[in-house]
Each structure stands twice: as C-alpha cells, then as structure tokens.
Amino acid sequence: MDYNKKKTLKDIQVLDKKVLVRVDFNVPLKDGQITDDNRIQASLPTIKYLVKQGAKVILLSHLGRIKSEEDKKTKSLAVVGQRLEKVLGQKVTFIPSTRGEALENAIENMKNGEIILLENTRFEDVKDNQVIKYESKNNPELGKYWASLGDVFVNDAFGTSHRAHASNVGISTYIPASAVGLLVEKELQMLAKGIDNPDRPFVAILGGAKVSDKIGVIDNLLNKVDKILIGGGMAYTFFAAQGHKIGTSLLEADKIAEAKRYLEIANGKIILPIDSATSKTFSNEKAEFYGLDLPDGVMGLDIGPKTIELFQKELIGAKTVVWNGPMGVSEFSHFAQGTTAVAEAIVGLKNAFTLIGGGDSAAAAIALGFKDDFSWISTGGGASLEYMEGKVLPGIDAIQAKQ
C-alpha cells in the first residue's frame, strides 16, 4: 500500500473552509487530570498550520472506551480542551455534545482561525445505557452527519488509523475533500523508511508478552530483515519449541508449532536469548540468572546479561533498526535491564535509522529518557504494529489520493 500518494495538507485549500480534524487526544487521566499530554503536543503542528492558513478548525477525538452512561462522567474531553488552550495559547471552544443544534450553530458562527473541540466521539457508542457503537462500528448515518458539518476532512490521528470508525473512515467517505495531517504524513514517511525502504543491515527487535501479538510482524518482516532479535515473554514459546525447560514462564502452547516453523524457515535470521533474569513470583524481587533451561517454579521476566551482550554484538553496524516490544517486565526495576540495554545499544549506533513502533517499547524508551535519541518513536501502538504486519490501515486508505 503506497500511502505517499495520499493528499497532504499542501494539496488542499483551507482558507474560509470548515475543516474537520480527527486528532488523537486519547490521553491518560488520573483523578480527572491529564498525566501525559504527549498526544496533545503531537497535534499542535497541524492545528497551528490550519489556523495560520485561515481555516475554521473543528477537532474530533475519542477518549478511552465508553460502555455505559457512567463512563461518560469521567471521559469528557473538557479537560483536554483546557490543556489544549493552554499549550496552544489560543482560545478553544469546547462543545459538550457530538451532534445537535448547539454544535451546528457554534460551527455556523465560526470565524477564520477559530477552534472548536467536540465532545468525545465515543459518547456515540452508548445511548440511554444501550451499547450501540455508532462511532466504533462506523455507523453510516453518523459519518454522514459529521461530514455535513465541514468542507474538508483531515486525519491526523495515526493511533486510530487501523480502525474504521465513523470519525475517520465515515467522514472521509462522505466529505468532498480529505487529506492526512502533518503528524500522520510524518508517521507514514518514517514507517516506510524503516520497513519498506531500509538501509542494510536491517535488524528488527521484537519483544512483548505474546507470540500471537507478533505473528503478523514476523511473517511480514522475515523476508525483509537481515536479523530478528526476539526477547520478552514471547521468547519462551520459542524455547519450548526447541525443547528447552521454561519453568513457569509465559507460554502459548498453541503457538509452539508456529514458533518451530519460523525457526525452520528463518535460515538463522532469528536470534533468541541465551539466558534469562528470573523470579519465583511475578514481582520486583531481586533477579536470579539462568541459561537456556530454567528450573521448575521459576519464571523468566527479562533477558539475562549474556543475552544483552549477544544483542549488543548483533546490533553492531546496523543501519536500520525497528523495535517493537520490551525485552522484559520493564516496569519492574530489576527486570528493566534488558530493555534499557537494548535502548542504549540502539541509540549508540552511528548513522543508523532507528524506529520504535509505538506501544510499550515507546513508553519504556520515553520513561528511560531516550525520547529524543531515536530517529522516530511512533505515536500509534496498534496502527504501527499493523503497518509492520503489512496490513492496510482503513483510516488512511479512505483519504483521497493526489491527482
């Protein structure tokens, strides 16, 4: 799928136009307060560009999952509107509804350069305590209605582009003009550079808990990469496939045959750990280290020191590195060594293009202080994973192509 043929902001006229922008304001909240505004910050370039070009900017986003009327009390975008106003230094009018007269009038009376933020698009998933999923199942009537509020649609929410929702695919389908925003454009360029047109040697590093989460990625990348380093809980299913003892480590027994098959067809491209940092319980107690076979009653929670050394060696000279998934339970300090060491090894590479494909590895790298040291850290966990699997992203597929 060549997403570089999709219209970008430079391909559309926005002066005097009502521009609907799907942003990703799905920020973490604690006690009603935003704990991390990275996603709000990431949307600023597109919003500022549209304001400067004289557009009337109408923002749509979801926040969390809405399964009951009760959820709506804690998942309003009002708090996001306040934070956006602060970081943007410009008034943002929050409309506490997703449709209706108040919203329509507010849009009708907008002046160029003004900004409106709608209520959480997933409020449309529940009506009178009935789960109807109008937003998340792309109800055509809702997509048509939202499209009718604007002249142009811009998708700048990469994080939801792997989902066909009314607020991305629905609006794109029924509006005269559409384009991707600056953030989505950059995401697509960076993912294409890392995965579709890599400089070699090209090394992928896969971690995380489950093989089942990464099967599509292994399928798509095995033909493209020079090496795949595998860590995290998923490694133990591969060990089991080789006949090693894995104690009480995470195992997907139904994926052993799959792991065997990958090892057979990989021609030595798959590099597995050679030791583990373990614990008797899933807790942050001091690690004990074992080689390839683990005794009964012990679970592997991170790669061990010999594996760290091995992975560092395998990364020497790499020109493209794509990383998805931590090497261990990185939220436990005793089992964060593998993830930290891999991040440091990647960051230390000279003249390499280094990309983290969103999700837990992105959160870990940022938490460890490496935010600015990678070529690109993707903002979309599921979307970047599906891109790495070679799947079509419906939210981007629905955007108009350049003429």
Residue 365's pLDDT is 84
Considering the candidates 6, 7, 17, 39, report the single residue annotated as catalytic: 39
Determine whether the annotation assigns residue 65 to a binding site.
yes
Any catalytic annotation for residue 150? no
Q: Could you tell me the pTM of the whole model?
A: 0.90
Determine whether the annotation assigns residue 24 to a binding site.
yes
Determine whether the annotation assigns residue 163 to a binding site.
yes
Considering the candidates 245, 382, 390, 391, report the single residue annotated as catalytic: 382
Determine whether the annotation assigns residue 39 to a binding site.
yes
**With 90 as the cut, is the pLDDT of residue 98 above it?**
yes
In this prediction, residues 196-206 reach a mean pLDDT of 95
Domain boundaries, the chain: 3-184, 198-388
Determine whether the annotation assigns residue 214 to a binding site.
yes
Q: For the chain, what is the mean pLDDT?
A: 95
- Domains 3-184 and 198-388 agree in fold: yes
Considering the candidates 144, 193, 210, 224, report the single residue annotated as catalytic: 210
Tens-place pLDDT, residues 332-366: 999 999 999 999 999 999 999 999 986 778 888 88
Tens-place pLDDT, residues 45-94: 999 999 999 999 999 999 999 999 999 999 999 999 999 999 999 999 99
CATH number of this structure's domain 3-184, picked from the four choices 3.40.50.10190, 3.40.50.1260, 3.30.70.141, 1.10.10.10: 3.40.50.1260
Handedness of CA 164, 44, 14, 181 (dihedral sign): negative
**With 90 as the cut, is the pLDDT of residue 139 above it?**
yes
Tens-place pLDDT, residues 105-137: 999 999 999 999 999 999 999 999 899 999 999
Determine whether the annotation assigns residue 358 to a binding site.
yes
Instruction: Determine the Cα–Cα distance for residues 333 and 169; give it in Å rounded to an integer.
Output: 41
pLDDT category of residue 1 using cuts at 50, 70 and 90? low
Determine whether the annotation assigns residue 220 to a binding site.
no
Contact 271, 227 (CB under 8 A): yes
Evaluate whether the domain defined by 198-388 bears CATH number 3.40.50.1260: yes
Whether residue 198 has a cis bond before it, omega within 30° of 0: no
Percent of the chain with pLDDT over 70: 100
Instruction: Determine the Cα–Cα distance for residues 399 and 5; give it in Å rounded to an integer.
Output: 10
**With 90 as the cut, is the pLDDT of residue 403 above it?**
no
Any catalytic annotation for residue 382? yes
DSSP class per residue in 49-91: HHHHTT-EEEEE---S---SHHHHHH--THHHHHHHHHHHTS-
Q: Would you call 5 exposed, middle or buried from its count of C-beta atoms within 10 A (0-12, 13-18, 19+)? A: exposed
Contact 278, 260 (CB under 8 A): no
Any catalytic annotation for residue 200? no
Structure tokens that stand for 160 in this block: 């939801």
Contact 96, 56 (CB under 8 A): no
Considering the candidates 359, 380, 381, 395, report the single residue annotated as catalytic: 359
Q: What are the CA-CA distances from residue 76 to residues 93, 98, 133, 364 (Å)? A: 14, 11, 17, 27
Any catalytic annotation for residue 32? no
Determine whether the annotation assigns residue 199 to a binding site.
no
If you count DSSP H runs as helices and E runs as strands, how many of each does the chain have, helices first? 15, 19
Structure tokens that stand for 352 in this block: 């390499």
26-35, 295-304, 374-383 — most confident range: 295-304
Tens-place pLDDT, residues 287-342: 999 999 999 999 999 999 999 999 999 999 999 999 999 999 999 999 999 999 99
Residue 361: φ, ψ to 5°: -70, -35
Q: Would you call 257 exposed, middle or buried from its count of C-beta atoms within 10 A (0-12, 13-18, 19+)? A: exposed
